Each structure stands twice: as structure tokens, then as C-alpha cells.
Amino acid sequence: MTTKIAIFGVGLIGGSLALCFKGREGLSVVGHAHRPESAEKYVSRGVVDSATLSFEEAALDADFIFLCVPVGMLEDYLLRLSKLPLKKGCIITDVGSTKASIAECASSLDLQDVHFIGGHPMAGSERSGVEAASSLLFENAYYVLTPPPGVPEEAYESLKALLVHTRAQIVRLDPQRHDEIVGAISHLPHIIAVALVNQVHGYDSGDSLYSTLAAGGFRDITRIASSEPVIWRDILLNNREVMLKLLKDWNEEVSSFVQLLENADGEGIEEAFKEANGFRGKLPERRKGMITPLFDLHIDVPDHPGIIGRIATELGDQGINLSNVQIIESREDVPGIMRLSFRQECDMERAKALLQRRDYTVYV
Ligand SMILES: NC(=O)c1ccc[n+]([C@@H]2O[C@H](COP(=O)([O-])OP(=O)(O)OC[C@H]3O[C@@H](n4cnc5c(N)ncnc54)[C@H](O)[C@@H]3O)[C@@H](O)[C@H]2O)c1
Ligand SMILES: O=C(O)C(=O)C[C@]1(C(=O)O)C=C[C@@H](O)C=C1
């Protein structure tokens, strides 16, 4: 018996989920597209087994339905699904970045013999669309589920069992609490990043040296300002109440910095940095895409075209198995700018010796 998984909205998140499920024994993945060219793309990129423009056909006989469209469309999709003759026991879930409103909408609908369980993978990117999808996106990330009271435990367990393919760690949360927490750790940082970029853009219009000199610090804190505008419009409007409260608190944080500077309070500034360092230093490191422990080297590399290829080739020529390469723009926490990861300690040791012989500065 094949388990049919229907994905509505095969973009960054929907496409990544599809890639986690596709090709697994007993699973078939159908993607719903709202444009003919998208349907063709999903199939030709190998992200889904089949794609359809028909809402009904995608939902027909599905065992699991994932709603992966912008938050502002979720309720409409759920409403449409509630009017279809869905398979008995079908589990509908979503991946929206807010959870309270969709949970409320689900509880107001008369869902016959099907169950809605809200979901939100805490992994993503500033990129969007199926082109950015990756089967590794959720590895080691947290994946929040918000089962409503009364949903059968077997339904929750069966969704959890399916999500094993994402290699994410499931966390069960109340939807409102989810929105408060995620508002602070995800939505607020997006607002701050956008406001900061726009502030500097204003200065840069008069003097382009601002963008010329923008280096690690600016880039680190503003990567997420490049996120998809429609996705974020919907998230912020949907979590408006929470965001307004958080922005009030943010204004207070900013005001306290204004005061520190007005008073030339060096000690206070140091304290603020110490407090932030302390809290941030305790954040658990959750690196994506690596489920087993890796052995890392960091190396300082000059900014030359082709440098990554050269290093990878040198290691490959010596039969050294490289598992992952990451360019770290910021130099905080680690002294180098390229991280090379190896599954075997002996590979890491051989790479270290080789790169040192080639005069690279290597840090373990
Ligand atoms: N981007 C992230 O980092 C992230 C992380 C976790 C959850 N989410 C949530 O996942 C959902 C999808 O976000 P994404 O980042 O994959 O976005 P995306 O833009 O990559 O994908 C959105 C999908 O929705 C479809 N879509 C867009 N407008 C549509 C319309 N008018 N009619 C029908 N379909 C439409 C697109 O074709 C695409 O398949 C959102 O609800 C978002 O809040 C995003
Ligand atoms: O890494 C990023 O680019 C993200 O923005 C991912 C991120 C986040 O803020 O952490 C963004 C939105 C989500 O709903 C979940 C995760």
C-alpha cells in the first residue's frame, strides 16, 4: 500500500519536504502547483513524483496533506480542503511560520474523519522557491507540531513517524506560545534586519562608500533581510499583536542604548555586551545537514577565485574524504574563514598535515 503525500506549494519548504519523502519505499509525493510552468518544473527537477494544477486531484486519496503556501493563504486552503471528500483518517498539516490563527481556523471547521495538526519546521533560508529546496534543510533542526486538544494520539504519532524522514527533532507546543516565542527569535530579527538595511540604504544613496565598506558585521546581521517579501508580509501581519508588543520592548532596548551613549556610560555598554555574550554563548549549536558528529578544521584562506576548488582537489587527490565545506563570513568564535568537515578523525588529521605542508594556517 502506497502512502500518498500531497504538497500544496512546492517552494523552499514544500520542495524540501518533498525531497525528504520522495523515493522512500511506500511513499508517493504529488505536488500542487498554481501555474502550469511550475508543475512542469517540480517534476523535471525531480522534486515530486507527479504534479497537478487541480486542487481536488492533489488532495484525492491523500494520506497526508502539507500546506506550504504563504501564511495569508493557509486558511483559505484549509477551508477548501474541508469541503472535499478527503480520505478517512487523512492528516492535514501546514508549515506556516505562525500557528495560532490556523489552529483557530481548523477548530472552527467541521473536519469529518480527518485531522489537522499545525506544524512549523524551524529551518529555512532567505532564499525561496523550489530552486532553493534541499533534502538536508531540516536535518538537526527543531520541527514544532501543535496538535489541538482532542486530536487522536495515533494521528499525531503517525505524522511524527512520517517526519522522521526530515531528520528534524519534533517539539510539541501550544500555538499561541509558539507565536510568542517565534515572534521574538525569528520575526523580530527579520524586522530589525530590514530596518537596519533600509537605514543604511538611506545613507548610501548620498555616499556609496557605505555599501562599499559593509563587511562581516553588517552582512551577518542582515542576511535575512533578503527574505521573500510576500512570505514575510504575511507572517508579520498574521502575528501582528505579538509583534507590536515585541517592538515596544525593542524600542525600550534601543532607548536604553541611547541613554548609555548620552551618559557616555562605558561600564553600561560593557555590561550590555557581556550579558549578550553570555546568553548567546550558551545557545545550543545546531548545524544543519549533519546528523553524525563531524571533525572540523578551520583554515584562513585568501579571497582568490577557485580557492575552494583547489583545496577540495588537493584533498581529493590524496584520497581524503571531505564531507562538508562552509565559508564563514564572520570570524567570531572561530579563527578561520573556511570550515572543512570530515566524518573520520583520520581524514581530518591527514588534511591538517597536508594543508600545513601547503602553507595554509590551519586550526582544529
Ligand atoms: N522561508 C523560511 O525560512 C520558512 C521557514 C519555515 C516555514 N516557512 C513557511 O513556509 C511557507 C512557505 O514558505 P517558503 O519559504 O517555502 O516560500 P516559497 O516562496 O519558497 O514557496 C511558496 C510556495 O507557495 C506558492 N504560492 C505562492 N503564492 C501563491 C499563490 N498566490 N497561489 C498559490 N500558490 C502560491 C508558490 O508557488 C510556492 O510553491 C510559509 O507559510 C512560510 O511562513 C518559511
Ligand atoms: O535561516 C533563515 O534564513 C531563516 O530565516 C529561517 C527562519 C528563522 O527565522 O530562523 C525563518 C522563518 C521560519 O519560519 C523559520 C526559520
By most ligand atoms within 8 Å of CB, the mutation choice from 95, 97, 142 for ligand 2 is 97
Q: Does 231 sit in the ligand 1 pocket, CB within 6 Å?
A: yes
Residue nearest to atom 27 of ligand 1 (CA): 69
Look up residue 2 and give its DSSP letter: P
Beta sheet of 169-172, edge-to-edge order: 50-52, 27-32, 3-8, 64-67, 91-94, 115-121, 142-146, 169-172
335, amino acid identity: P
**Does residue 306 belong to any structural domain of this protein?**
yes
Q: Which domain holds residue 142?
A: 3-173
Phi-psi region for residue 110, left (φ > 0), alpha (ψ -120 to 50) or beta?
beta
Please tell me whether residues 146 and 117 are part of one structural domain: yes
Task: Specify the CATH number for the domain of residue 333.
Answer: 3.30.70.260
The CA distance from 364 to 303, in Å, is: 21
Residue 126 Cα to ligand 1 midpoint, Å, equals: 12
pTM of this structure: 0.85
Task: Specify the CATH number for the domain of residue 13.
Answer: 3.40.50.720
The CA distance from 205 to 314, in Å, is: 44
**Does residue 264 belong to any structural domain of this protein?**
no
Q: What is the pLDDT of residues 311-325, one digit of tens each?
A: 999 999 999 988 888
Q: Angle 176-236-135 (CA atoms, 0-180°, nearest 5)?
A: 85
Q: What is the pLDDT of residues 123-167, one digit of tens each?
A: 999 999 999 999 999 998 999 999 999 999 999 999 999 999 999
Query: Domain boundary residue among 255, 276, 309?
Result: 255
Please tell me whether residues 42 and 81 are part of one structural domain: yes
Residue 361 Cα to ligand 2 midpoint, Å, equals: 33
Residue nearest to atom 14 of ligand 2 (CA): 97
Q: Does 96 sit in the ligand 1 pocket, CB within 6 Å?
A: yes
Task: Specify the CATH number for the domain of residue 216.
Answer: 1.10.3660.10
Q: Does 142 sit in the ligand 2 pocket, CB within 6 Å?
A: no
Work out which ligand 2 atom sits closest to the CA atom of 190: 9
Residue 230 Cα to ligand 2 midpoint, Å, equals: 14
Q: Does 124 sit in the ligand 1 pocket, CB within 6 Å?
A: yes
Q: Does 147 sit in the ligand 1 pocket, CB within 6 Å?
A: no
Compute the half-sphere exposure of residue 75: CA atoms within 13 Å on the CB side of its CA: 14
The CA distance from 284 to 321, in Å, is: 27
Please tell me whether residues 30 and 128 are part of one structural domain: yes
Please tell me whether residues 81 and 127 are part of one structural domain: yes
Please tell me whether residues 101 and 14 are part of one structural domain: yes
Residue 84 Cα to ligand 1 midpoint, Å, equals: 23
Q: From residue 284, give the alpha-carbon distance in Å to each of 57, 141, 181, 280, 281.
A: 43, 11, 16, 9, 8
Is 50 exceeded by the pLDDT of residue 360?
Answer: yes
Residue 150 · residue 125 · CB < 8 Å:
no
Please tell me whether residues 358 and 250 are part of one structural domain: no
Handedness of CA 312, 313, 314, 315 (dihedral sign): positive
Is 80 exceeded by the pLDDT of residue 59?
Answer: yes
Please tell me whether residues 215 and 319 are part of one structural domain: no
Is 60 exceeded by the pLDDT of residue 333?
Answer: no
**Does residue 299 belong to any structural domain of this protein?**
yes
Query: Domain boundary residue among 173, 198, 224?
Result: 173
Residue 130 Cα to ligand 2 midpoint, Å, equals: 16
Query: Domain boundary residue among 157, 173, 189?
Result: 173
Residue 27 · residue 148 · CB < 8 Å:
no
**Does residue 359 belong to any structural domain of this protein?**
yes
Beta bridge partners of 296: 341
Q: What percent of the chain has pLDDT over 70?
A: 95
Residue 112 · residue 85 · CB < 8 Å:
no
The CA distance from 157 to 360, in Å, is: 50
Residue nearest to atom 29 of ligand 1 (CA): 69
Residue 3 Cα to ligand 2 midpoint, Å, equals: 29
Find the ligand nearest to 133 CA.
Answer: 1
Q: Does 124 sit in the ligand 2 pocket, CB within 6 Å?
A: yes
**pLDDT confidence of residue 285:** 64
Please tell me whether residues 185 and 54 are part of one structural domain: no
Is 90 exceeded by the pLDDT of residue 5?
Answer: yes
Q: Does 102 sit in the ligand 2 pocket, CB within 6 Å?
A: no
Exposure string for 113-132, b = 16+ CB within 10 A, e = fewer: ebbbbbbbbbbbbeebebeb
**Does residue 272 belong to any structural domain of this protein?**
no
**Does residue 284 belong to any structural domain of this protein?**
no
Burial of 348 (0-12, 13-18, 19+ CB in 10 A): buried
Q: Does 18 sit in the ligand 2 pocket, CB within 6 Å?
A: no
Please tell me whether residues 231 and 331 are part of one structural domain: no
**Does residue 275 belong to any structural domain of this protein?**
no
Q: Does 238 sit in the ligand 1 pocket, CB within 6 Å?
A: no
DSSP 288-350: TT--S--EEEEEE----TTHHHHHHHHHHHTT----EEEE-S--SSSS-SEEEEESSHHHHHH
Q: What is the pLDDT of residues 29-42, one digit of tens each?
A: 999 999 999 999 99
Residue 122 Cα to ligand 2 midpoint, Å, equals: 6
Please tell me whether residues 213 and 239 are part of one structural domain: yes
Q: Does 125 sit in the ligand 2 pocket, CB within 6 Å?
A: yes
Q: What is the pLDDT of residues 183-240, one digit of tens each?
A: 999 999 999 999 999 999 999 998 999 999 998 899 989 999 999 999 999 999 999 9
Question: In this prediction, does ipTM exceed 0.90?
Answer: yes
The CA distance from 294 to 343, in Å, is: 5
44, amino acid identity: S
Of the listed ranges 94-98, 99-103, 301-305, the one predicted with least confidence: 301-305
Q: What percent of the chain has pLDDT over 90?
A: 79
Please tell me whether residues 47 and 166 are part of one structural domain: yes
C-alpha cell at 147: 496538535
By most ligand atoms within 8 Å of CB, the mutation choice from 40, 54, 55, 69 for ligand 1 is 69
**Does residue 162 belong to any structural domain of this protein?**
yes
- How many domains does the chain fold into? 3
Is 60 exceeded by the pLDDT of residue 110?
Answer: yes
**pLDDT confidence of residue 289:** 45
Please tell me whether residues 156 and 199 are part of one structural domain: no
C-alpha cell at 295: 571533525
**pLDDT confidence of residue 286:** 60
Residue 317 · residue 287 · CB < 8 Å:
no
